[in-house]
Amino acid sequence: MLINAELLLQYQRCKRRPFLDIHGEKSRREPENELLLKLYQDRIAHHRSILTQFTYQRPVYRHGDWKTGVRATLELMEQGAESIYQGVLVHGYSQTHTLLSRPDILVKHRGESRFGDWMYVPVNIELGKRPKQEYQVVAAFHAYVLAMVQQSELEIAWLMLRGKEAGYSVDLLKWMPQMHRFLEEYIQTLETEEAPEVFISRQRCNLCPWYDYCYAVAQSQKHLSLLPGVTPVRYIQLQALEITTVESLAKTYPTQLENLPGFDSAVAPKLILQAKSIVENRPFIIPNLPPKQQYVLNSCTVDTSVCLDRTIEVDRETTQLLSPRSDILSTAPVEMFFDIEAEPDLNLDFLLGVLVIDRQAKTEQFYSFLAESPEEEELVWQQFMNLVWQYPDAPIYHFCVYELDTVKRLAKLYQTPQSYVSPVLNRFVDVYKILTQNVALPIESYALKAIARWLGFEWRDPEASGMKCIYWYDKWLETGDRSLLEIIQRYNEDDCHATRSVKDWLVNFFQKNNGS
């Protein structure tokens, strides 16, 4: 069986993915969507930009004809080619497994090898901006196969990352043992009859073609990974304590968890309360506990917030729960709800959307400040600032920190006076931060869509997303199809309305639980 770098890369991200790629039912695999196609296009563009730094030769072979590829690559290495693009190297790892390496570039260096007084060093081109573990392990994989082929040990390999002018050197003395460990684990995984246990990690799983299949499996099992806050590290600790269901986690005392890796005195009670919320299918207020105290959260009621059933090693007079104050959020005469769409590869914030709710005038108005080209970013920035200064006392609600950071970035980029920007920033209110610090909801994710949909809000275009907006905007720049801009603007407006729905629900929920 051939083992290539892509399989090893995927194994590090998810032990289940390469097993399904080889043994899974192909009918359960989703076709590649436009987001994956965009990543492929970005990767190709990045490769082309890096290749301009090299004068290379490319072995001639058809994709999949690895024997011809190996022969052509070895011929170029024997000739002493300065650089070789997409060469093919193989090494018999065991009686049943062969390692197939296709490093992006092989670069000639001084040294000793089977070819003479020169040797080759692998260079891999990666789309990421950081030298992630999986990148360095893959670099070690290529270096290992190359060392076996050229009969010369290597000390470093190179990564060419996005946004970096110079390459990143990979310390093979450090990463080679890691690579062999992953390789052995991967082979053992492939030789089992059943796929590894499912674990839903939204950041890594969303673009996987097996996501829908794995998610259905996780739901059928009521898997703990569906619970917000259960990371792989925490999951291992919970398993060791035989806490394998949401129900068992909901009955756990925080003191059982808070000293374990991945937990502390703040994480443990919050995760348990999250489990309670799922089990009882209702929201709970997260208590604001005095620092350096120990608590066991057990039973709760909606009307009276969270009640303590037992307090450990703490004087009762000092353990009053600080219920959320009614002024955490309030209703202002005029409120603004702000959301941004951006194209990270262009370092461009192309749409600043603002929903203005004027309760005195009984009006609602959505403003869509859209840069139809990257050169118009400064214009939409000025339009945004002009609007928010029309309502100098209105709070500006947003969801997550991106909007705040972006306003700071644009102000610096376009040299906006601090006296003009600071009063605006002081009006920003992060709905996400307030919610996650004060409320546990019976949901699988604290993304805006998950929360708003739990409240009954629906987007007009159900399949739209921030990632798809990036793809659509790139297509707009390529094709000039204005319908793409219209769907982006509609999605952005719905995001603003969704933020409003979450904020209004929070106001009502806090008031109800304060008895006001």
Q: What is the pLDDT of residues 244-272, one digit of tens each?
A: 999 999 999 999 999 999 999 899 999 99
Q: What is the pLDDT of residue 299?
A: 32
Q: CA-to-CA distance for 354 and 352, rounded, in angstroms?
A: 7
Residues 6+ apart with CB under 8 A from 21: 7, 10
Flag whether 210 is in a domain: no
Rounded to the nearest 10 degrees, the angle between the axes of helix 172-190 and helix 16-23 is: 50
Please check whether residue 195 lies inside any domain of the structure: no
In this prediction, residue 350 has a pLDDT band, given cuts at 50, 70 and 90, of very high
Give the pLDDT mean for 61-81: 95
Across all residues in the chain, what is the average pLDDT? 89
What pLDDT is stored for residue 301 in this prediction?
Answer: 30
The CATH number of whichever domain residue 427 belongs to comes to: 3.30.420.10
Q: Is the model's pLDDT at 498 over the cut of 70? A: yes
- CB proximity list for 451: less than 8 A, separation 6 or greater: 435, 441, 443, 502
Confidence of residue 298 (pLDDT cuts 50, 70, 90): very low
Question: CA-CA distances (angstroms) from residue 471 to 367, 464, 468, 493?
Answer: 22, 11, 5, 18
Question: Out of 166-170, 399-403, 499-503, which region has the weakest mean confidence (pLDDT)?
Answer: 166-170
Beta strands in 114-182 (DSSP E): 116-125, 156-160, 168-171
Residue 121: pLDDT band (50, 70, 90) is: very high
Residues 238 and 367 in one domain: no
Strand partners, 338: 354
DSSP string, 4-45: EHHHHHHHHH-SHHHHHHHHS-GGGSPPP-HHHHHHHHHHHH
Tell me whether residue 480 is in a domain: yes
Of the given ranges (197-211, 283-297, 351-365), which has the lowest mean pLDDT?
A: 283-297
78 with 104, same domain? yes
Quick check: 292 pLDDT over 80?
no
pLDDT band at 34 (very low <50, low <70, confident <90, very high): confident
Residue 32 and residue 171 in one domain: yes
User: Residue 13: which domain range?
Assistant: 2-190
Judge residue 454's burial from the number of C-beta atoms within 10 Å of its C-beta, 0-12 exposed, 13-18 middle, 19 or more buried. middle
Q: How far is 379 from 503, CA to CA, in rounded Å?
A: 29
Tell me: do 6 and 124 sit in the same domain: yes
Among the residue ranges 319-328, 458-467, 494-503, the one predicted with the least confidence is 319-328
For the chain, the 3-state helix, strand and coil shares in percent, each to the nearest 5, are 45, 20, 35
What is the pLDDT, as a whole number, of residue 316?
A: 31
| pLDDT score at 289 | 53
Q: Quote the pLDDT of residue 327.
A: 56
Average pLDDT score over residue span 351-376: 96
For residue 99, give the H/E element and its range.
Answer: strand 98-101
**Strand 428-430 and strand 396-398: pairing?**
parallel
3-state SS class at 340:
strand
pLDDT beyond 90 at 43: no
Which residue did the predictor score with more confidence, 516 or 392? Answer: 392
Instruction: Pick the last residue of a domain from 134, 168, 190.
Output: 190
- Confidence band (pLDDT; 50, 70, 90) for 39? confident
Does 306 map to a domain? yes
Looking at the structure of the chain, the number of domains it has is 3
Count how many residues are written for the chain. 516
Listed residue (131, 99, 127, 145) closest to 43, CA to CA: 127
What average pLDDT does this structure show over 118-144?
95
CA 42 to chain centre: 17
Least confident residue range of 348-352, 421-425, 428-432, 467-471: 467-471
**Per-residue pLDDT tens digits for 439-480:** 999 999 999 999 999 999 999 999 899 989 999 999 999 999
Together in a domain, 347 and 437:
yes
Would strands 89-92 and 116-125 be described as parallel, antiparallel, or unpaired?
Answer: unpaired
Quick one: 102 and 134 in the same domain?
yes
Q: Is residue 196 part of a domain?
A: no
Is residue 328 in a domain?
no
Q: Are residues 299 and 339 in the same domain?
A: no
Per-residue model confidence (pLDDT) at position 163: 80
Q: What is the DSSP letter of 391?
A: S
Same domain as 303, residue 346: no
Average pLDDT over residues 2-10: 92
| Burial of residue 508, with CB atoms counted within 10 A of its CB: 0-12 exposed, 13-18 middle, 19 or more buried | exposed
Are 346 and 465 part of one and the same domain?
yes
Q: Give the pLDDT score at 321.
A: 38
Query: What pLDDT sits at residue 191?
Result: 87
Query: What does the pLDDT average to over 187-197?
Result: 90
In a domain, 71, yes or no: yes
Cα separation, 197 vs 218, whole angstroms: 9
pLDDT digits over 7-31, tens only?
A: 999 999 899 998 998 889 999 998 8
The enclosing domain of 251 has a CATH number of: 1.10.150
CATH code of the domain in which 88 resides:
3.90.320
283 and 396 together in one domain: no
What CA–CA distance (Å, rounded) separates 404 from 433?
Answer: 12
Same domain, 73 and 186: yes
Q: What angle do CA 452, 453, 459 make, to 5 degrees?
A: 90
Sequence-ordered list of residues with C-beta below 8 angstroms from that of 256, at least 6 positions apart, any chain: 241, 268
For the entire predicted model, the pTM comes to 0.81
pLDDT in tens, 238-250: 999 999 999 999 9
Which of 399, 401, 425, 362 is closest to 502 using CA atoms?
399
96: how many CB neighbours lie within 10 A of its CB? 9
What is the number of other CB atoms lying within 10 angstroms of the CB of residue 345?
Answer: 15
Does residue 323 form part of some domain?
no
103 in the same domain as 181: yes
3-state SS class at 419: helix
